[in-house]
Amino acid sequence: MNKKEIIVSGIQPTGNLHIGNYLGAVKKWVELQNSGKYEMYIFIADLHALTGKMTADELRTQINKTCAELLAAGIDPKKTTFFVQSHIQEHAELAWIFNCVTPINELERMTQYKDKVAQFKNATAGLFTYPILQAADILLYHGDLVPVGQDQIQHVELTRDTARWFNNKYEQYFPETKHLLTPTPKIMSLLEPNKKMSKSLGQDHVIELSDEPEIIENKIKKAVTATEGGGVAPGVANLLVLIKEFGDQKTYEKFIQMEKDKTIRYGDLKKELGEAVGKYFSNFRTERAKLLRDEKKLTKIMSVGTKKAKKVAEKTMIDIRKIIGLK
Ligand code: TYM
């Protein structure tokens, strides 16, 4: 029997899941997991979150919440090795080794790094070497495929390069990792639809999976639809993508037709979309609340995932230490 392809992906515990995370990554993770065709590793990237500004208490709370949210969204720890990155120390160890094969100028090219450095004064070395840790996350488990949103493509390409740099310097060991996109790899902000939906823009720019229906409807009501120049305005295009994903096919086709005929009323689109999103995540909200009341269960699930991931990570590092001359 052929070996199953290995899928690895992660998410930072920096806030509640939003529909950008969901449509760009998490929904796909659940589909891939349920197909039974892959060996799956999904983790909470808490070490990456240290490059941000959270306090220790905020981070602790958010790791727990992200865990509950991913489970509520459909990650099944029986089918997926689901764990917290920092529980497996091998991530940091492999990252150091990759530091020593990665040219500085390749890191300087990373757009996410350049954006962050432009935003923050006194940017840390963590922001700079962030993609190296990401390469370690993926290659520690020999990841073939990495399902991510569009903003992470460059980091997955760097992972592929890292594997080559390592393989060329030492010996053929790591696979050539590829990214995997959803049909919706870049969901836009509700208020600034020329920017990627992101929590860092502010609460009203994003819809969180846990938002109550009234909140969702209100946020969508305020979404920008104004047209600049010809064609479909980016804000409208974004809302149409969302109704396609969260509404039924007929409703979507109805609005597409009306947009073409120019008979569309954005108020109607927003109303139907708001209701559809609220309904879509109704089970998620219930499940999330239940899990958050059961911290013991969350801890247990994470410790089982850690054990499974640890076995693979330890084996990789035994190989690596030999290959590079540390043993
Ligand atoms: P993070 O935590 O920013 O986002 C998690 C996933 O959500 C996707 N995403 C989006 N997709 C579509 N539209 C959006 N507006 C949107 N916003 C976010 C992201 O592309 C991502 O797939 N560096 C990673 C975490 C990470 C990782 C890894 C991922 C660490 N190690 C190894 C894959 C493999 C990050 O910060 O994602």
Provide the pLDDT confidence category of residue 299 given band limits of 50, 70 and 90: very high
Report CA(62)–ligand 1 centroid distance (Å).
16
What is the residue-averaged pLDDT of the chain? Answer: 96
Q: Are residues 206 and 308 in the same domain?
A: no
Residue 120 pLDDT: 82
Does a structural domain hold residue 289? no
Q: Are residues 277 and 141 in the same domain?
A: no
Q: Are residues 140 and 253 in the same domain?
A: no
Are 129 and 103 spatial neighbours (Cβ–Cβ below 8 Å)?
no
Q: Are residues 205 and 181 in the same domain?
A: no
| DSSP string for 82-127 | EEEGGGSTHHHHHHHHHHTTS-HHHHHT-HHHHHHHHH-SS--HHH
Are 240 and 207 spatial neighbours (Cβ–Cβ below 8 Å)?
no
Please state the domain count of the chain: 2
Q: Are residues 212 and 91 in the same domain?
A: no
Per residue in 250-263, pLDDT (tens digit) is 999 999 999 999 99
Nearest CA, atom 29, ligand 1: 10
Choose which residue among 32, 128, 148, 186 to substitute to test ligand 1 binding: the one with the highest number of ligand atoms within 8 A of its C-beta.
148
Q: Looking at this protein, which amino acid is placed at residue 244?
A: K
> Which residues sit in the known binding site for L-tryptophan?
137
Per residue in 16-34, pLDDT (tens digit) is 999 999 999 999 999 999 9
Give the number of the atom of ligand 1 that is nearest the alpha carbon of residue 152: 20
Q: Are residues 81 and 136 in the same domain?
A: yes
Q: Are residues 71 and 171 in the same domain?
A: yes
- Exactly one of 27, 196, 219, 270 is catalytic; which is it? 196
Residue 316 has pLDDT above 70, yes or no: yes
Give the number of the atom of ligand 1 that is nearest the alpha carbon of residue 197: 15
Within 10 angstroms of residue 296's Cβ, the number of other Cβ atoms is 7
Q: Active-site residue 196, yes or no?
A: yes
Q: Active-site residue 199, yes or no?
A: yes
Give the number of the atom of ligand 1 that is nearest the alpha carbon of residue 151: 20
Three-class DSSP category at 255: helix
Q: Are residues 241 and 269 in the same domain?
A: yes
Q: Active-site residue 186, yes or no?
A: no
Residue 247 has pLDDT above 70, yes or no: yes
Nearest CA, atom 5, ligand 1: 11
Q: Quote the percentage of the chain above a pLDDT of 90.
A: 95
Nearest CA, atom 14, ligand 1: 20
- Exactly one of 28, 65, 116, 219 is catalytic; which is it? 116
Q: Are residues 100 and 162 in the same domain?
A: yes
Q: For residue 218, what is the domain's CATH number?
A: 1.10.240.10
Pocket (CB within 6 angstroms of ligand 1): 8-12, 20-21, 23-25, 45, 48, 134, 137-138, 146, 148-149, 151-152, 155, 185-187, 196-198
Per residue in 39-66, pLDDT (tens digit) is 999 999 999 999 999 999 999 999 999 9
Does a structural domain hold residue 96? yes
Strand partners of residue 41: 8, 81
Q: For residue 122, what is the domain's CATH number?
A: 3.40.50.620
Domain that holds residue 271: 199-284
Of 76, 120, 77, 125, which is closest to residue 99 (Cα–Cα)? 125
Q: Are residues 164 and 299 in the same domain?
A: yes
Q: Are residues 124 and 233 in the same domain?
A: no
Three-class DSSP category at 29: helix
pTM over 0.95: yes
Q: Are residues 274 and 302 in the same domain?
A: no
Distance between CA atoms of 88 and 34, rounded to whole angstroms?
A: 25
